[in-house]
Structure 1
Amino acid sequence: MTSCHLVLGAAGLLLVIGLVMVFSASSIEAALADEPAWAPGVQQLIWAFLGLIAMGVALRLPVGFLRRWSPIALVGVAFLLLLVLVPGIGVKLNGARQWFDLGFAHLQPSEVAKLVFALWGAHVLALRERYLTTKSLLVPVLPVFGVLMLLLIAEPDFGAVVTLGLVLVGLLWAGGMPLKWFGGFAAGAVVLIVVLVQAAPYRMARITAFLDPFADPTDGGFQAIRGMYALATGGLWGVGLGNSAMKWNLLPHAESDYIFAIIGEEMGFLGCLVVVTLYGVLAFAGFRIARRAADRFVQLASIAITVWLVGQATMNMGYVVGLLPVTGVTLPLISAGGTSLVLTLFIVGILARFALSEPAAVEAQQHRTRGRLSRWLLPAPGSAVDPVRPRRRPEDRPPRSVRGTGRTVVHAGSALRRAPAEPLPSVRPAPAERTRAPELPRPAEPPRAERPARAGQPRPGRRQPGSGGGPRRPGGAR
């Protein structure tokens, strides 16, 4: 249960920090727009409540259910990514057609695609574990990644492409991909990035602003410079909660993309250190779950989800401090967002569900009594039973007997690899003839008179009682 507590504890603290900082960073902007200052914070609180419900549902989902439905979910997600590109159905915001308008919120199918791809990839690699090679490791995971990547580029959503690549790296690394292949993937990623940057002028502007933000401080480097100023203003202890100056419309997207800069300004370096430490605890718990899990699917999915969440957080904090170019990815569990927060909490619930399937957790459950509150909050630990068996090839199927015929049916593909269908009659060797040992001559018995008397027998020459006559004489006369 330690891994489950680490996941839920770290995610819960990050969620609390996110709610406080979203309320602080968005209150001024809401007030300037003639809205209640508390409205964005309350809206984020409602989404967090819905996310906690989704996390509770994920905690009670069987692992086999996730495996069985992952292929169907992958087809559904690919259809949604195609559907969002249709004008009139997909909503276009900030030059990208990435959302569905649900009336009360906007749904981004690219976020769902990351989770589904992680679960489906872990399912496929777990099925091929018995005869896993480099080719079976790449196919069909890599082609499916290519299809999803093309659909995301068509939106366009470069940040989703990068985070989906993190999921792919986690799957291949956990699956045992040789390191030399990662070098080839890195070279291919560099070529792809160069092509995408050359294809869109705004991406080229982001790269230029990353290399020298002060070359264009009023346009391309404006956001990066304001973010670094916010971190520098906070110092060690920060200026205090609610006292940020950059949230007065000086830092764009202060409540979402650049919320880490507001954390550094109001809570200082120590506040940033707490956030980084909590993500480190989440990473440690995810890898601990993968190391202690007995099911291969749980191992692969745990590593893919952990690399995704922690890698996305690293990218967000990296471009805020100026170490990475701006990609637009949010800070998980902290940045403002509706459906993205619900989905992230659902992912945390899946990771905690994997922790409950550890053999140590299942064994500990048998020797302890849980309270009513514990049973209500967390389900009982249960082993991850693998309900999905790999499809056996004809040569791997055992022979089956036909009732009433005495024959055994063997598949054609296995006729050359298995024993004959009908067993050969066993021929028992003839038993060897028994030879009797030659009988040795018995020693001659001594004369009757010379035999020693036995106990209870009369001695020779003595009359037996009741015989009625004296001793016999030679010749038969008495």
Structure 2
Amino acid sequence: MIKKILKSYDYTLIFSVFLLCVFGLVMVYSSSMISAVTRFNSDSAYFFNKQLIFVCIGAVAFLIAAVIPYRILLTKKLLKSIMFISVGLLLILFVYGHTAGNAKSWIKIAGFTMQPAEFVKLSVIIYLAAVYEKKQAYINNFKKAVMPPLFFTTIICGLIVIQPDLGTAMIIALIMMTMVFSSGMNWKSIIGLALLALLFLALISPLILLNSDRFITEERVSRFEGFTDPFGTEKDAGYHLANSLYAIGSGGITGLGLGNSVQKYGYLPESHTDFIMSIVAEELGIFGVLFVLSLLGVLIFKGFYIARKCEDAFGTLLAIGISSMIAIQAGINLGGMTGLIPITGVTLPFISYGGSSMLVLMISAGLLVNVSMFTNYREGYKSDAEKSVSKKREQNIQKPVQNKM
């Protein structure tokens, strides 16, 4: 049995995750070494050492998530605890939250900062997957199946928007939309939800306008100005994007060489977080970029493939939620650093510096591997059972022939 379980693990998926983590550690060191010394008056390996700690903790969390059967998450008490803690952490931010980057999104614990919204992303995925599996028999019933989980998720998004952290709220909303679309609802229910969403936006628009000083801040307006004309506003609103594009352009095909970035010398302040891919492009060129995109592509593709193969609704929706989270987060980060969309402050999965993000991604990847293993194990068990039945049939056919002889 143990041998069959070990054979059922997707080692390509596991290898891709850890290769991304190792590459991310190398790039965190390369992109942050100057900033650590000049801005934080610390050792050049300051950010690398902190990220290494979270990668090691994340590796342990990954192994636990990959081994313990994923359906244990359907336990009522555990599911309620996950959601209660998630909402509780978001509420604690209003009292003990630490402000950074104009957002009260962090909690300081023993010298480390934790971002609850990162953990909430995974909690929402688990919650929606569990709820929609339970409600499969009446999935199109608006009152019982459609509205309650979406109403709860909307409240969570609202708590994150208030921080304000629009980037994370947008990711959760997009994950929710993907999971709803994949939940088994018919088109009539989906169109009905879309109309309700438009009505909701129309109702809250006056509230946003009345509180425009909070939601439509000068910083957010400047992000759009920088997005539309980065080089025309290079000294203020377009500073980050312009320098990101300089980094990408100077890297060319082969790059300037690992550690040889110019933009990390104070020109690109968030070089180890939001704009780490710009440094990858500058130092390693198009080949470095393709390497990262290929590994992320393997994770995302395999995640959706696992979802298609999985026979239970919870495993399917869990795989879809995790895969879409990685894809959406990567898409928003890459879109921001290339100027395709306004900058939102979203990090690149497994590559950017960030302890909370790394832990959540490693647990998520572990759950994805877990779903894959159990799916492969069930397929192997069915295959063995079919072979056994086929063998017995052959023996039964041969017996009368042997008796006649």
User: What interval of TM-score do these two structures reach, taking the shorter chain for normalisation?
Assistant: 0.7 to 0.9
Note the alpha carbon deviations across 1:307-347, whole angstroms, 9 max, x for none. 11111011100111110111111001000011221221111
Distance in 1, matches of 2:23 and 2:62, equals 18
Equivalent positions of 1:328-347 (< 5 A) are: 328-347=345-364
Does 2:96 align with 1:79?
no
CA distance change for structure 1 residues 346 and 77 in 2, over 3 Å: closer, same or farther?
same
How many Å apart are 1:230 and its aligned residue?
0.3
Does 2:44 align with 1:20?
no
Aligned partner of residue 100 in structure 1, secondary structure:
strand
**Which stretch shows the higher mean deviation, 176-185 or 241-250?**
176-185
Does 2:185 align with 1:169?
no
Does 2:118 align with 1:93?
no
Aligned partner of residue 94 in structure 2, secondary structure:
coil
CA distance change for structure 1 residues 181 and 280 in 2, over 3 Å: closer, same or farther?
farther
Does 2:11 align with 1:5?
yes
How many Å apart are 1:9 and its aligned residue?
2.2
> TM-score, normalized by length of structure 2?
0.84
How many Å apart are 1:366 and its aligned residue?
9.7
Distance in 1, matches of 2:107 and 2:44, equals 27
How many Å apart are 1:302 and its aligned residue?
0.8
Q: Which residue of 1 aligns with 2:69?
A: 62
How many Å apart are 1:257 and its aligned residue?
0.5
Note the alpha carbon deviations across 1:69-112, whole angstroms, 9 max, x for none. 223211221121111111xx211222211111111311111111
Equivalent positions of 1:386-425 (< 5 A) are: none
The code of the aligned residue for 1:64 comes to R
CA distance change for structure 1 residues 183 and 147 in 2, over 3 Å: closer, same or farther?
closer
Correspondence for 1:29 among 13, 18, 35: 35
Q: Which residue of 1 aligns with 2:149?
A: 141
Contact 1:59 1:350 in 2 (8 A): yes
How many Å apart are 1:225 and its aligned residue?
0.3
Distance in 2, matches of 1:264 and 1:132, equals 45
Distance in 1, matches of 2:291 and 2:192, equals 36
Contact 1:137 1:175 in 2 (8 A): no
How many Å apart are 1:5 and its aligned residue?
2.4
Q: Which residue of 2 aligns with 1:205?
A: 222
Q: Which residue of 1 aligns with 2:241?
A: 224
Distance in 1, matches of 2:342 and 2:194, equals 21
Correspondence for 1:129 among 122, 131, 136: 136
How many Å apart are 1:174 and its aligned residue?
1.1
How many Å apart are 1:67 and its aligned residue?
1.4
Contact 2:139 2:146 in 1 (8 A): no
Distance in 2, matches of 1:213 and 1:354, equals 43
How many Å apart are 1:137 and its aligned residue?
4.3
CA distance change for structure 1 residues 128 and 182 in 2, over 3 Å: closer, same or farther?
closer
Note the alpha carbon deviations across 1:329-368, whole angstroms, 9 max, x for none. 100100001122122111111111111110x334537999
CA distance change for structure 1 residues 348 and 188 in 2, over 3 Å: closer, same or farther?
farther
Root-mean-square deviation (CA, aligned residues, Å) is 2.4
Contact 2:8 2:374 in 1 (8 A): no
Contact 2:21 2:351 in 1 (8 A): yes
The code of the aligned residue for 2:85 comes to G
User: What count of residue pairs does the alignment treat as equivalent?
Assistant: 365
CA distance change for structure 1 residues 193 and 9 in 2, over 3 Å: closer, same or farther?
farther
Q: Unaligned 5+ residue runs, structure 1?
A: 369-478
Contact 1:257 1:330 in 2 (8 A): yes
Q: Which residue of 1 aligns with 2:263?
A: 246
How many Å apart are 1:180 and its aligned residue?
3.5
Equivalent positions of 1:41-60 (< 5 A) are: 41-60=48-67
Q: Unaligned 5+ residue runs, structure 2?
A: 1-6, 385-405
Distance in 2, matches of 1:73 and 1:209, equals 39
How many Å apart are 1:164 and its aligned residue?
0.7
Q: Which residue of 1 aligns with 2:403?
A: none
Note the alpha carbon deviations across 1:213-266, whole angstroms, 9 max, x for none. 233211110000000010000001111100000000110110000001001001
Correspondence for 2:159 among 151, 159, 176: 151
CA distance change for structure 1 residues 292 and 223 in 2, over 3 Å: closer, same or farther?
same
Aligned partner of residue 238 in structure 1, secondary structure:
coil
Q: Which residue of 1 aligns with 2:389?
A: none
Correspondence for 1:361 among 365, 370, 377: 377
Distance in 2, matches of 1:57 and 1:213, equals 45
Q: Which residue of 2 aligns with 1:116?
A: 123
- Which is greater in Rg? 1
Q: Which residue of 2 aligns with 1:416?
A: none
Identity %: 31
The code of the aligned residue for 2:157 comes to M
- Which structure has the higher relative contact order (CA within 8 Å, separation 6+)? 2
Contact 1:6 1:285 in 2 (8 A): no
CA distance change for structure 1 residues 183 and 146 in 2, over 3 Å: closer, same or farther?
closer
Distance in 2, matches of 1:144 and 1:354, equals 26
Distance in 1, matches of 2:51 and 2:205, equals 34
